[in-house]
Amino acid sequence: MYDANIEDIKSSDINIQPGDLIKIFSVVQDRKIVRLVGAVQREGEYGVHTGVTVKELISMAGGLQYFAYTDEAEITRIIVTQQGPETTKILINLKKALEDDPQNNIMLQENDYLIVKSVPEWELYRTVTVEGEVKFPGIYTIKKGETLSSLIKRAGGFTDQSYLKGTVFTRESVRELQQKQIEESLDRLEQQMISQSARTIETALTAAEAEQQRSVSEQRRALLNKLRASQAKGRLSIKLDDIGRFEGSSYDIVLEDEDKLIVPEKPQQIQVIGSVYNQTAFVYDTGGTVSFYVAKAGGMTRDADKDEMYILKVDGTAISKRASGGFLSSWGVLDPGDTIVIPEKIEKIAWLREIKDITQILYQLAVTAGVLIVTF
């Protein structure tokens, strides 16, 4: 056996013979790094085999971003002790560090974490979108604290064709919340369906019954997939009015980035969907009631669930028959663009009878996603 450095082997007169085994060992990596994040050109991990200063690390990262906060930067340092790791925070003046001030341009140690902050409340710009019946629709930049009334004024106000009741206002943070609520409801529904399927398959007496239950399970999965395909719109119900009355009202909210306002023209229809003989839209009649439009749709079918009727209002709200005390006459006046929804009875599908909250989930989807889910 012969051990030597590879450079020594190159310069030696050792003869290699058949059957010899040559083994070259890999170099043991001593990976010492520091981490840099924040307002720099290139965030990431940097090697510090020979040690680097704050100024040298910033230079390795390509320098600061123009919005970097130079009065202060923060270093998190981990020190290994016999009792466990100890974390300390070191604050430095970044501007002085870049000027080679020795009290601030300190030598970094392995696993140091340097954070370069942005100037307070830094945000390049926020944008909102205005569409429909305003004089100057488009994308607008907004400043912090700007309200909806200010945006409407900048867009030139409403046109003569605007239908303020039908205004659609959407917000990304609301959409995320609605989507989370929908997914949580569907997760609970899925657990109920799985539990119910397991019980029914276990109690099946024959192979035919077991096969029937498997078919039911497939139907349940298909329903879940259909429900999960619905996405929340993030609609926030806003009641617009003449700008003089609207400004300063409770609906004159502070705008957020990616908000969107759509002011439509006045619609000319009332829509009737669900368990009626003719699902369609009808020309709006100022004296038309819920019963009037249901009758125009041919009336309710045998499978209609009258107790679960509701109206999706054009302003994004909903009114159910239960909430109105069960009397159609107490639902108020219909507005152009309203949708009358008459669900089918869940009880007609045997495998849905024992699933709790299915009606509430379908109703929630209709309101938050703005869709009618046909379950069968």
Indicate the SS3 state at residue 337: coil
Name the pairing type of β-strands 339-342 and 44-47.
unpaired
Domain with CATH 3.10.560.10 in the chain: 33-118, 267-344
In tens digits, what is the pLDDT along the chain, a chain of 376 residues?
666 666 666 656 667 778 777 777 665 556 788 999 999 999 999 987 777 899 999 999 999 999 999 999 999 998 888 888 889 999 999 999 999 999 999 999 888 999 999 988 777 788 999 999 999 999 999 988 999 999 999 999 999 999 999 999 999 998 998 888 888 888 877 787 777 666 665 565 566 666 666 666 777 777 777 777 778 888 888 889 999 999 999 999 999 999 999 999 999 999 998 889 999 999 999 888 898 999 999 999 988 888 888 888 888 888 887 766 655 555 667 999 999 988 887 655 554 555 555 556 666 666 665 544 333 3
Question: How is domain 33-118 classified at the CATH fold level?
Answer: Outer membrane lipoprotein wza fold like (3.10.560)
pTM above threshold 0.75: no
Matching CATH number, 267-344, of 3.30.70.980, 3.40.50.620, 3.40.50.1580, 3.10.560.10: 3.10.560.10
Residue with tokens 């991990």: 45
Residues 93, 101 contacting (CB under 8 angstroms): yes
Concatenated DSSP letters of 135-175 = SS-EEEEE-TT-BHHHHHHHTT-B-TTB-GGG-EEE-HHHH
> Taking the chain, what is the end-to-end CA distance rounded to the nearest angstrom?
79
Sheet hosting strand 280-283, strand order edge to edge = 280-283, 269-274, 339-342, 310-312, 318-320
- Dist CA 232 CA 370 (whole Å): 8
